[in-house]
Chain A
Amino acid sequence: MSGNGQVYEVFARKKRADRFEHVGAVSAPNEQLARVYAWQTYDEAKWFEMTVAPRDAFAAVNRPQAPFTLGGPGGRAPGADSR
């Protein structure tokens, strides 16, 4: 078995009326495990909704670099609450 697959960015919101916030990232071999890891790792709130997407699905719009690089692989999102 090699590597942990790819990095997935994790977004969640506490209430239906809230916007999604970027809460962090997980490394996972596939999407099914990314969903489990996201739910169990970022369990600091009673989320109404959580979603994940592969980091490489995000395209840079105005900056030369793809986003989320500050968080590092599996790291917390920039500006996310420290645990």
Chain B
Amino acid sequence: MTESGFRSAEDLPEGVSGHLGNLILALADNKRLLGIRYSDWLLGAPSVEAGIACSAMAQDEWGHARILYALLRDFGHDPAALEHERASGEYHSSELLDRDVASWEEFLALNFLWDTALSVQFEMLAESRYEPIHYKVRKLLEEERFHFDHGQGWTSRLLSAEGGRAALTGAFGAAWNACLCWFGPEDDPLIATLAAHGIVRRGAAGARARWLERVGPLAAETGLAREADAIWASTREPVWECYLAGRRRAAEGGPDEDSLARVRGDRNRELLMD
């Protein structure tokens, strides 16, 4: 990259700072909620080892969320207020994370499809001209490698098990559109602006293609992706009717009451110190 970097949000060109802050908030909220979904399986996973993996992934996600909320201070936000004070409708997390998931297949849709969709968006930020995010993204992606292996390893396992393919087809099918939409429509002003200024490496279509490259080979076995000339594509077109660009999700609403209480730490609020 020959263009110079930006050392703080203040240095970003007009209009870019708001968009990047919005993207980081969406990433932070998704990480925070995903951590809760992972933690729900500490005791119900198929083996002790898988439970330990869920525990480790939950810790990773909460760590990532904490770092991202802290980074938003640079964008004029109060991280404590973001973490503890918001109503459900102010969260920018996916509808896939609004409530707990009932089955291991649905868990895998989050672990393999959704977590990878988030990681791909972080890959787009790895060489960002917004420099404060560099080191954070590199470390985060190192940890995420194991999340991907866990999701892929279990998806492979289930695809080869009796009844596994049908169960995965249902769960992946239900999560698929949310993943396609996460990267935004091709003319998404937020991503297009960030791409034009070298804040993200690729636009919406490029990021979506990268995600399909990573999940496509296994998703193909559930009929959701196909390959032609080494290019992976979705067999379904994204449905944008319900997409809320401002919150980067494809449904109204937000985390349910129980999730919100856990995310914000409501139960032990009086013990909150700072």
User: A residues within 8 Å of B by Cβ?
Assistant: 1-2, 4, 26-30, 32-33, 35-37, 39-41, 43, 74
Contacts and interface: CB of A to CB of B under 8 A. Distances in A.
A40 B53 CA distance: 6
Interface of B, helix, strand, loop or mixed by DSSP: helix
A59 to B, nearest CB: 25
Contact of B52 (A1, A2, A37): A37
Contact of B156 (A27, A32, A40): A32
Given A4-B46, A41-B52, A36 B157 contact: no
Given A32-B149, A36-B149, A4 B158 contact: no
Interface in B116-175: 146, 149-150, 152-154, 156-158, 161-162, 164
Contact of B146 (A2, A39, A74): A39
Contact of B157 (A26, A29, A39, A43): A29
Nearest to B59: A40
Interface string B41-58: 000001111101101110
Contacts of A32: 149, 152-153, 156
Contacts of A29: 153-154, 157
Contact of B49 (A1, A2, A37, A43): A37
Contacts of A33: 49-50, 149-150, 153-154, 157
B268 to A, nearest CB: 27
A32 to B, nearest CB: 4
Given A40-B52, A41-B52, A27 B47 contact: yes
B107 to A, nearest CB: 13
Contacts of A35: 146, 149
B68 to A, nearest CB: 22
- Between B49, B149, B150, B162, the greatest number of chain A beta carbons within 10 A of the residue's beta carbon is seen for B49
Interface in B52-75: 52-53, 55-57
Contact of A1 (B149, B152, B153, B164): B164
Nearest to A26: B49
- Between A26, A35, A40, the greatest number of chain B beta carbons within 10 A of the residue's beta carbon is seen for A40
B47 A40 contact: no
A43 B110 CA distance: 24
A38 to B, nearest CB: 9
A39 B50 CA distance: 12
B158 A1 contact: yes
A36 B146 contact: yes
A27 B49 CA distance: 7
Contacts of B161: 1-2
Contacts of B57: 40
Contact of B153 (A2, A30, A43, A74): A30
A77 B153 CA distance: 25
Given A30-B153, A74-B49, A40 B164 contact: no
A1 B47 CA distance: 12
A4 B48 CA distance: 10
Nearest to A41: B52
Contacts of A1: 46, 157-158, 161-162, 164
Given A29-B157, A32-B156, A43 B56 contact: yes
